[in-house]
Structure 1
Amino acid sequence: MYFHVQRLINDIAQDEPDPAAANALQEGLGGQFGEMRTMMQYLFQAMNFRGPAAKPYRDLLQGIGTEEISHVELIGTTISRLLDGSPRYRGRPDEPLDKPGAGGAIPLEIALDHGNIHHYLVGAQGALPVDAAGNPWSGSYVYNSGNLPLDLLYNLMLESTGRLQKCRIYEMTDNKTARSTIAYLIVRDQAHEIAYAKALETLGVKWNALLPIPKTNAEAFPEVKKLLDLGLHNKQYTFDLATQSEAGKIFQGASPAGDGSTLVADEQAPEGVPSTISVERPEEFAPGLDPALLELIQATADLEMTAVDASFGPVSSR
Structure 2
Amino acid sequence: MFFHVQNLINEIVPDEPDPAAANALQEGLGGQFGEMRTMMQYLFQAMNFRGPSAKPYRDLIQGIGTEEISHVELIGTTISRLLDGSPEYQGKPTDPVDEPGAKGRTPLSIALDTSNIHHYLVGAQGALPVDSAGNPWSGSYVYNSGNLVLDLLYNLMLESTGRLQKSRMYEMTDNKTARSTIAYLIVRDQAHENAYAKALETLGIDWRKSLPIPKTNAEQFPEVKKLVDLGLQSKQYTFDLAGQSEAGRIFRGPSPSNDGTELDASEQAPVGVPSTIAVERPEEYAPGLDADLLALIQTTAEMEMADIEAMFVPKADAAS
Aligned match of 1:263? 263
Measured in 2, the distance between the counterparts of 1:174 and 1:66 equals: 30
Judge conservation of contact 2:212–2:257 (CA < 8 Å) in 1: no
* More displaced 10-residue stretch of structure 1: 110-119 or 28-37: 110-119
How far residue 187 of structure 1 moved from its aligned partner, in angstroms, is: 0.2
Residue 214 of structure 1 deviates from its aligned partner by 1.7
Structure 1: give runs of 5+ residues left out of the alignment: none
Shift of 1:300: 4.1
Cα 1:99–1:57 change in 2 (3 A) is same
Please give the secondary structure, in 1, of the residue aligned with 2:264: strand
TM-score scaled by length of structure 1: 0.94
For 1:252, the equivalent position in structure 2 comes to: 252
Change (3 A) 1:55 1:85: same
Contact 1:153/1:207, CA 8 A, preserved across alignment:
no
Moved more, 75-84 or 303-312: 303-312
Instruction: Note the aligned Cα RMSD (angstroms).
Output: 2.5
Identical positions, percent: 80
Matched-pair contact (CA < 8 Å) for 1:90–1:103:
no
Q: Distance in 2 between matches of 1:128 and 1:309?
A: 38
Structure 1 residue 301: Cα displacement? 5.3
Tell me the secondary structure at the aligned position of residue 266 of structure 2: strand
Which segment drifts farther, 259-268 or 211-220? 211-220
Structure 1 stretch displaced more, 159-168 or 286-295: 286-295
How big is the shift at 1:307? 8.7
Q: Which moved more, 1:202-211 or 1:225-234?
A: 202-211
Which residue in the other structure is 1:146 paired with? 146
1:116 to partner: Cα distance: 1.0
CA contact (8 A) 1:92 1:101 kept: no
Contact 2:211 2:256 in 1 (8 A): no
* Structure 1 equivalent of residue 214 of structure 2: 214
Give the partner amino acid of 2:46: A
- The answer to which of 111-120 and 20-29 deviates more is 111-120
Contact 2:29–2:35 (CA under 8 A) maintained in structure 1: yes
Deviations, residues 254-291 of structure 1 (Å, cap 9, x unaligned)? 11112221111100000100000001111100035331
Instruction: List aligned pairs for 1:55-134, cutoff 5 A.
Output: 55-134=55-134
Task: Give the conservation status (yes or no) of the 8 Å contact 2:211–2:257.
Answer: no
Once the two structures are TM-superposed, the CA of residue 148 in structure 1 deviates from its matched residue by: 0.2
Structure 1 residues 311 and 210: alpha-carbon distance in aligned structure 2, compared to 1, 3 A threshold: closer
Letter in 1 for 2:142: V
More deviation, 284-293/126-135: 284-293
Confirm or deny that 1:192 pairs with 2:192: yes
Give per-residue Cα distances to partners, 1:286-316, cap 9 Å, x unaligned: 035331112222454577789999999x995
- SS at the partner of 1:237? coil
TM alignment of 1:278-317, pairs within 5 A: 278-287=278-287, 289-300=289-300, 316=318
Deviations 1:132-190 (A, max 9, x none): 00000000000000000000000000000000000000000000000000000000000
Q: What is the CA–CA distance in structure 2 between the aligned matches of 1:309 and 1:151, rounded to whole Å?
A: 49
CA distances 1:24-56 after superposition (whole Å, capped 9, x unpaired) = 000000000000000000000000000000000
Q: Which amino acid letter does the alignment assign opposite residue 259 of structure 1?
A: D
| Residue 35, structure 1, aligned to residue 18, structure 2 | no
Residue ranges of structure 2 left out of the alignment (5+ in a row): none
The residue type equivalent to 1:161 in the other structure is T
Query: Counterpart amino acid of 2:183?
Result: A
Paired residue for 1:137?
137
CA distance in structure 2 between the aligned counterparts of 1:124 and 1:98, rounded to whole angstroms: 16
Q: Is the 8 A contact 1:6 1:274 kept in 2?
A: yes
TM-score normalised by structure 2 residue count: 0.93
Q: Please give the alpha-carbon distance, in whole angstroms, between the structure 2 residues aligned to 1:305 and 1:212.
A: 53
**How far apart, in 1, do the equivalents of 2:26 and 2:160 lie?**
18
Paired residue secondary structure (2:224): helix
Query: Which residue number in structure 2 is paired with residue 49 of structure 1?
Result: 49
Q: Aligned AA for 1:102?
A: A
Alpha-carbon distance in structure 2 between the residues aligned to 1:306 and 1:17: 43
Cα pair 2:97 2:283 within 8 Å, conserved: yes
Residues 250/15 of structure 1: CA separation in 2 closer, same or farther (3 Å cut) = same
- Letter in structure 1 aligned against 2:141: Y
Cα drift, residue 92 of structure 1:
1.8
Aligned equivalents of 2:117, 2:261: Cα separation in 1 = 45
Q: Report the Cα distance in structure 2 between the residues aligned to 1:225 and 1:113, rounded to whole angstroms.
A: 34
Q: Deviations over 1:88-131 (max 9, x none)?
A: 00012122111101342100000000231000000000000000
- 2-structure distance, mates of 1:303, 1:28: 43
